[in-house]
Amino acid sequence: MEEMRGKVKKVLIFGLSSLYAGVEALILNYVNHLDENEYAVDLVVTERKPEYLDDKLLRNVDIRIVPNRVRNYVAYVKSMDKIVKTGGYDIIWANFCTLTDIQVLKSAQKYDVPIRIAHSHNSENMGSFLVMATHLMNKKKIIQYANKFYACSDFAGEFMFGREIVESKDYKIIPNAIEASKYRFTPEIREQIREKMQLSNKIVVGHVGRFHFQKNHTQLIKIYKKFLEKKSNSILLLVGTGNLMDEIKQLVHREGIEGNVLFLGNRSDVNDLMQAMDVLLFPSLFEGLPVTLIEAQAAGLPCVISDKITKQAQITDLIKYESLDAPLENWVDDIEQSLLIKRSDYLGTIQNAGYDVCECATWLFD
């Protein structure tokens, strides 16, 4: 990196999907806080610029559009090759949930980009058998193309790269950092939002995440229904969208709890919604390290989460782990215990743990 000091470093970032979720939030958190006098940023996207960039992107970038890999693989490879060959990049930052597509790193190695980062954001397969087979094949080869390896947790690191890389000098845990001050618990904002949403006299259980099998919304609904039997003045807020949204709406209808469940879709005010919540319910089947849990702890929000999530997510004393195999009653007891926690300011704790992007964006590529 010594030869790169003193000049603007050019970075190509891969890994943004068309849907705004945790990985996209993390990437843009860092991008927005990279000094424009030090880093010029290009973003790779498929087919078209995602709409969320208009709201979420707060600095100048160049958008590099590639064809759909599945529909036209040859054109995709040629396009990625051309972008990397002509881009003059110092750094490639490739973000992955599985290693099904590592072409950007292949191109980077082919054209001698000096810093080639593979960054893991997940700890289990999210797709089909074919996805997993391709992932395992590329896992064996990833060291040929990347020379730096990042992960949000050791769970995610071992899944993506294997033990040998995790124990190497080129491996690093990168915090899923957020703009922590936006989430700082503020009683006045809490009351304003609860009044605006007509939640002032309600117990508010929340969940933030896309409707994907990983997030385990089916069990979430079952847990909440059992809780509702004890606390009839409660409301469940579901933030996010996804392929399973209609299926979960049908489940809520069958369970007869439509009047107590609000589907809020994608929101730009998650920080305010977390102020209004009383507890976050998060029974995921697997995770890397969810950005949502960092945001919730920054907001001083108690969280009841699955034991399949890494212990590295437990930055504060606000996290309560529960087994996915436990009776629903155990989850309900955990929620009730969490409601006894007095909301307070955890901003300093989050900052001291290294999860404030304002503090740590500068060393992401140093």
Residue 86 CA: distances (Å) to CA of 18, 112, 157, 334, 364: 25, 12, 31, 55, 24
Place of tokens 């993506």: 160
Q: What is the CA radius of gyration of the chain?
A: 21
Name the helix (H) or strand (E) containing 151: strand 148-151
Measure the CA–CA gap between 68 and 73, rounded to whole angstroms. Answer: 7
What are residue 149's DSSP bridge partners? Answer: 118, 171
Task: Show the low-confidence residues of the chain (pLDDT under 70).
Answer: 1-6
Looking at residue 1, what is its pLDDT? 46
Domains within the chain, CATH numbers bracketed: 2-174 (3.40.50.2000), 180-351 (3.40.50.2000)
Measure the CA–CA gap between 335 and 357, rounded to whole angstroms. Answer: 30
Looking at residue 162, what is its pLDDT? 96
Measure the CA–CA gap between 330 and 130, rounded to whole angstroms. Answer: 37
Measure the CA–CA gap between 273 and 229, rounded to whole angstroms. Answer: 24
Tell me the pTM.
0.86
Q: How far is CA 70 from the centre of its chain?
A: 24
* Collapsed DSSP state (helix, strand, coil) of residue 69: coil
Q: Are 160 and 139 in contact (CB under 8 A)?
A: yes
- In the chain, DSSP finds a helix count (H) and a strand count (E) of 15, 13
Q: Where are the alpha helices (DSSP H) in 2-72?
A: 22-32, 53-56
Provide the 8-state DSSP code for 311: G
Identify residue 2 by its one-letter amino acid code. E
Kind of pairing between the strands at 171-173 and 39-46: unpaired
pLDDT, tens only, 33-42: 999 999 999 9
Looking at residue 7, what is its pLDDT? 86
Q: Side by side, which strands form the sheet with 303-306?
A: 261-265, 234-239, 203-208, 279-282, 303-306, 319-322
Measure the CA–CA gap between 122 and 126, rounded to whole angstroms. Answer: 9
Looking at residue 21, what is its pLDDT? 86
What are residue 93's DSSP bridge partners? Answer: 13, 117
Looking at residue 126, what is its pLDDT? 79
